[in-house]
Chain A
Amino acid sequence: MDEKKEFTPSIIYGLCSWCGTGGSETAGAMHLQYADNIRPFRVPCTGAIDPVYILRALIEGADGFAVSGCHPGDCHFDSGNYRARRRIAVLKSLLDTFGLDSERVLLRWVGHGEGKRFADTVNEFNDYIKEMKKNPLAERRDT
């Protein structure tokens, strides 16, 4: 087994309780397979995800953090996803500023019925993070 295969990334997936979670349910109903090392993290709305949660995950051991919720225009709370997008933009530009792998954070909208899109997103991100290897922050004791 080569080294790449051995590395199973730890990935947190922030899903809103409406579309994101819905997408994962649809994927299940469609019997789609997806990487089982992702850990779903259900929130009422993507707008409820403070960048601090993402930072904490990345600092304490996650190799990647994905966020999915309702497409623009479909937010259950009207505008939570637009706010989430702004927060993630700020977070990613901070990570870029300090050379801390902003690609470890992924934002992609997934609708309730989009089971395939959900499964694809999980697999794609999982493969991507595998290529990136372990998150160096996770192993630093001086954080």
Chain B
Amino acid sequence: MIKGIWVEGPVKKGVLDFLNGLLAEKKIKAVLMPAKNKGGDSYAWFLMGKDRLLESADPVPPVMTTQGANVVSYLTKKGPVWEKTAVLLRPCEYRAVIELAKIKQVDLTNLVLISFDCPGAYPLEKYVNGDPEELDESFEVCLGGVVELDGPRNVCAICHRFTGTGADIEIGLMGGEGKGFWLVPGSKQGEELLDGAVGSESDNIDVREKAISDRTIARETKRNNTLDSFQETVMGPENLLNTLSACINCHNCSRVCPICFCRECYFDSKALSSEADNMLQRAQRKSGLRLPPDLLLFHLGRMSHMSVSCVSCGACEDACPANVPVSMLFALAGRNTQAVFDYEPGRRLDEAIPHTVFKFEELKDFETPYIKEYSKV
């Protein structure tokens, strides 16, 4: 497999040229990626083809609007796409696509997954209410991987999986210093598509590898330290409930979560609705009851369902109207539950989601051993 093709020049234009080339040569039929809206203050996903992309298409947008995995899931819900379709995804979106493919919520047939070295993203609210032009400019400066994004979302600041490792094609930005980028094949399909791409066979790609490994090490430390000190602020009923106290039970966080794919969420179902009498009894036991009830149950329960697959994309926090640090809570939960199974969501398609498999001998620490002669009473 070739290591990569170096494409000199402005990054975004270069990527669009490459994609337009694939369309023109009929190697792919369509491209799914975000494009800037007419108002200029946000992005939406578009399926583009037949022969060229939208002028406002942006392969590396500064915000994450709809999580890409939700879009791909929507596209292939009723079956695969019939013709080759390229999808441009942030690394966390790519990993969510892989998680969803494992549980058959995405059909990967005929999809070409393309990802990039991600500089991070701005909080959606900050972008929509701020000065998009100014933010676009400072975002652009970070594409080469030298400068870190100023004021990204919480999860982006501690993201240690910021490359699209595993995707059919990676757009290598780190180490390119904004002077160009590498097209890096990650699969046989990716390699075939790169055959004939405009650019030069790369002899400088180790610059990217070095930049990635340096940042990975720094980010891993930062991630663990940040999550450790965050954990101290949410430990115990008092702290945890205070952290959640602003929550308005809107369930937006779960609705936008790509991993929470259930048609009907348990927490929105009739299973949890009860008679007034039930709530009065609960209020009596607890000397009062917050309404709507089941706030803690929702968050902890959701974590128990999906935190092993949480890719830490931050969509939940972008969608939260109440400034609850949901993405940090779930990043922390995910880090710890994933560690139990040495599992990393989205790392490999053939790595089964822990809830769907088991080993005969495992997890002894979670069982309480029987003390044979326990003879009280």
Closest-CB distance, A84 to chain B (whole angstroms) = 10
Asked if residues A86 and B375 are in contact (CB atoms below 8 Å), the reply is: no
Interface string of A87-110 (1 = CB under 8 A from B): 111111110111110000011110
Which of A51, A97, A123, A141 is close to B333, meaning CB atoms less than 8 Å apart? A97
A73–B361 Cα distance when bound, in Å, is 10
Q: Which residues of B contact A60 (CB under 8 A)?
A: 282, 285
Contacts of B286 in A (CB 8 A): 138-141, 143
Q: What CA separation (Å) do A141 and B281 show in the bound complex?
A: 12
Contacts of A87 in B (CB 8 A): 304, 355
Asked if residues A94 and B333 are in contact (CB atoms below 8 Å), the reply is yes
| B325 to A: closest C-beta gap in Å | 13
**Nearest chain B CB to A131 CB, angstrom units:** 13
Q: Is the CB of B355 within 8 A of A86?
A: yes
Is A85's CB under 8 angstroms from B337's CB? no
Contact B370 A100 (CB under 8 A): no
Q: How many residues of A contact B (CB 8 A)?
A: 51
Residues of B within 8 A of A117 (CB): 370
Which B residues are CB-close (under 8 A) to A85?
358, 362-363, 366-367
A61 at the binding interface (Cβ < 8 Å): yes
How far does the Cβ of B337 sit from chain A's closest Cβ, in whole Å? 5
In the bound complex, residues from chain B placing their C-beta under 8 Å from that of A83 are 355, 358
CB < 8 Å: which of A61, A138, A142 contacts B245?
A142
* Cα separation A5 to B34 with both chains bound (whole Å): 65
Residue of B nearest to A136 (CB): B237
Given that A92-B366, A100-B236 are contacting pairs, would A52 and B333 also be in contact in the complex, using a CB cutoff of 8 Å? Answer: no
Given contacts A120-B375, A123-B376, contact A96 B304 (CB under 8 A): no
Given the known A-B contacts A52-B266, A82-B358, are A142 and B336 also in contact in the complex, defined by CB atoms under 8 Å?
Answer: no
B2 at the interface (CB under 8 A from A): no
- B101 touches A (CB below 8 Å): no
**Is B80 an interface residue when CB atoms closer than 8 A count as contact?**
no
B 60-84 binary contact with A (CB < 8 Å = 1; else 0): 0000000000000000000000000
Complex contact B340–A89 (CB within 8 A): yes
B287 CB contacts on chain A under 8 angstroms = 139, 141
Q: How far does the alpha carbon of A106 sit from the alpha carbon of B374 in the complex, in Å?
A: 16
With a CB–CB cut-off of 8 A, which chain B residues contact A88? 366
**A98 x B297 contact (CB < 8 A):** no
Q: A35–B245 Cα gap in the complex (Å)?
A: 37
A48: interface (CB < 8 Å): no
Q: Count the B residues whose beta carbon is within 8 Å of the partner chain — how many? A: 55
In whole Å, how far is B153's beta carbon from the nearest beta carbon of chain A?
21
Choose from B337, B368, B370 the contact partner of A94 (Cβ within 8 Å): B337
Contact A141 B290 (CB under 8 A): yes
Residues of B within 8 A of A142 (CB): 241, 245, 290, 295
- Rounded to whole angstroms, the CA-CA distance of A108 and B368 in the bound complex is 6
Cβ A33 vs Cβ B367 within 8 A? no
**Whole-angstrom CA separation of A86 from B283 in the bound complex:** 33
B217 at interface by CB-CB < 8 Å: no
Q: A83-B355, A123-B377, A141-B287 are in contact. Are A59 and B296 (CB under 8 A)?
A: yes
Q: What string of 1s and 0s marks CB contacts (under 8 Å) between B349-372 and chain A?
A: 000001100111111001111110
CA distance A141 to B239 in the complex (A): 14
Q: Is the CB of B245 within 8 A of A94?
A: no
Residues of chain A within 8 A of B360, CB atoms compared: 72-73, 82
B254 CB–A CB distance under 8 Å: no
Residue of B266, B296, B341, B354 with most partner-chain A CB within 10 A: B296
Asked if B303 is at the interface of the complex by the 8 Å CB criterion, the answer is: yes
A55 to B266, CA, bound (A): 14
Contacts A97-B231, A143-B295 given; does A138 touch B241 at CB 8 Å: no
Q: Which residues of B contact A99 (CB under 8 A)?
A: 235-237, 239-240
Q: Which residues of chain B are near A120, meaning CB under 8 Å?
A: 370-371, 374-375
Q: Which residues of B contact A56 (CB under 8 A)?
A: 294, 297, 301
What are 11 inter-chain pairs, A to B, with CB distance below 8 A? A56-B297, A56-B301, A59-B296, A82-B359, A86-B354, A94-B303, A94-B337, A100-B240, A123-B377, A141-B289, A143-B296
Name the 3 nearest CB pairs between A and B, nearest first.
Answer: A82-B358, A99-B235, A141-B288
- Which B residues are within 8 Å of any A CB, using their own CB? 231, 234-237, 239-241, 245, 266, 282-283, 285-290, 293-297, 300-301, 303-305, 307-308, 332-333, 336-337, 339-341, 354-355, 358-363, 366-371, 374-377
Question: Using a CB–CB distance below 8 Å, which chain A residues touch chain B?
Answer: 33-35, 50-52, 55-56, 59-61, 72-73, 79, 82-83, 85-94, 96-100, 106-109, 117, 119-121, 123-125, 127, 136-143
**A-B contacts besides A87-B304, A94-B303, A119-B377, 12 pairs, CB < 8 Å:** A51-B301, A51-B304, A72-B360, A82-B358, A85-B362, A86-B354, A94-B337, A117-B370, A123-B374, A125-B368, A141-B289, A143-B297
